[in-house]
Amino acid sequence: MSWPEGYGRLVLAQVDSTNAEAARRAPGLAGPEWILARAQSAARGRRGRAWAMPEGNFAATLVMRLDEPPEHRALRSFVAALALFDAVGALVGDDAGLALKWPNDVLLNGGKLAGILLESLGPHLAIGVGVNLIAAPGAGQVEPGALRPVSLLGETGVRVGPEAMLEALAGAYAAREAAFVTYGFGAIRTAWLARAMGIGAVATARTARDETTGTFETVDEAGHLVLKTAKGRVAIAAADVFF
């Protein structure tokens, strides 16, 4: 897949985190740019958690200027997840073991292969992507109850380098972004739900303040998780989800 027109590319040997680097570079960018780092010293996941990055794994951020309301920007999490699904399937030659987990994970054979972190940077949005290409963190490096981490190499035997992953992801993202801009969230939502883990299963959505348990029904038009509970349907904007 060729590099998408209009997207910049920057490859660095090491940074603290690609999202932090995106924040530093965003004001000077003329257009959307992918920033890839071969090593990170202070990688982060959701809610400020540390993100382990063994050598050979993938860490990159797409930074782009978006003059949109925050709730519309947040839907890029689904765009990015679909693009990751597309890219990994293309690199491996098979997407049968892949699935998407709300709000921002890509799964392989039931384990967590990749995560996505969105951060607003004033008028810019940073979409950070981490993929366990070569090695997965140990079970002790994830919170209790979380899905087991897996690597692409460990699950498929396919070895993919970070730059090959970036090439595939950038092309896949550009295609999904174009569909989002042209047709809106409806088409993205339908495609995401077709690849979603756990529809019809019991799930617990946990925030810092409370938790809600119910049957995972759908994702609504705002990107919220919809659970059917004993008290009725509940739409959840942000949470960690456990099946």
CA dist 158 to 176, 211, 231, Å? 25, 38, 46
Looking at residue 238, its pLDDT comes to 93
d(CA 16, CA 67): 27
- The b/e string for 27-47 (b: 16+ C-beta within 10 A; e otherwise) is eebeebbbbbbbebeebbbbe
State which amino acid sits at residue 243. Answer: F
Is the Cα dihedral 85, 99, 143, 119 positive or negative? positive
Q: What is the C-alpha to C-alpha distance for residues 73 and 78, in angstroms, rounded to an integer?
A: 10
Q: What percent of the chain has pLDDT over 70?
A: 93
Give pLDDT tens digits for 17-34. 999 999 999 999 999 999
Confidence label for 132 from pLDDT (cuts 50, 70 and 90) = very high
Sequential DSSP letters for 34-103: EEEES-BSS-B-GGG-B----TT-EEEEEEEE--S-HHHHTTHHHHHHHHHHHHHHHHHT--TTEEEETT
Give residue-wise pLDDT tens across range 96-123: 999 999 999 999 999 999 999 999 999 9
* pLDDT (average), residues 171-175: 98
Predicted structure pTM score: 0.93
- Residues 199-222, mean pLDDT to the nearest whole number: 96
List Cα–Cα distances, 91 to 36, 99, 158, in angstroms: 18, 15, 8
User: Regarding beta strands 202-206 and 225-229, do their DSSP bridges make them parallel or antiparallel, or are they unpaired?
Assistant: unpaired
List beta partners, residue 121: 124
pLDDT for 187: 96
Check residue 145 and give its pLDDT. Answer: 65
Q: Name the token pair of 11.
A: 């490859």
**What's the pLDDT at 98?**
98
**pLDDT class for 45, splitting at 50, 70, 90?**
low
Spell out the alpha helix ranges (H) of the chain.
Answer: 18-25, 70-73, 76-92, 152-156, 162-183, 185-194
Neighbours of 144 (CB within 10 A): 6
Segment 186-201, tens digit of pLDDT: 999 999 999 999 999 9
pLDDT in tens, 133-160: 999 987 666 666 678 999 999 999 999 9
Ordered structural domains, the chain, with CATH:
8-194 (3.30.930.10), 202-242 (2.30.30)
Tokens of 33: 């740019």
- Signed CA dihedral, 149, 63, 225, 209: sign only: positive
